Amino acid sequence: MTLADLVTGDCAKLDEINTDDPGVIRLMGLGMIEDITIRLKNVAIGGDPLEIGFFGGSVSLRKEQARHFKVSRIAASD
């Protein structure tokens, strides 16, 4: 499963990152690295881009980039 497969409100652990896309490497520089917990906060009308929350902040990314992040869905930790 990838970030692109999540639905709004889902929490997940980042398991694996495919670094073939330079944009993905930039997201890693912002803290999107393996073993962190993320939440899909919002999806734009039309389904793209996605707003991903982690470490108290959030970033927006396209589904094309989201497919580079393999995740495991976990229970929400409010």
pTM, two decimal places: 0.86
Domain residue ranges of the chain, discontinuous segments joined by +: 3-74
CA 19 vs. chain centroid, Å, equals 14
Tell me yes or no: is domain 3-74 CATH 2.30.30.90: yes
Q: What is the mean pLDDT of residues 54-68?
A: 92
**Rg of the chain in Å (alpha carbons):** 11
* For residue 78, pLDDT beyond 80: no
Check residue 77 and give its pLDDT. Answer: 61
- Unique residue bearing structure tokens 């073939």: 20
* For residue 69, pLDDT beyond 70: yes
pLDDT 10s digits, 16-34: 999 888 888 888 888 899 9
Check residue 21 and give its pLDDT. Answer: 86
Say if residues 14 and 36 touch (Cβ distance below 8 Å).
yes
Query: Residue 41: pLDDT band by 50, 70, 90 thresholds?
Result: very high
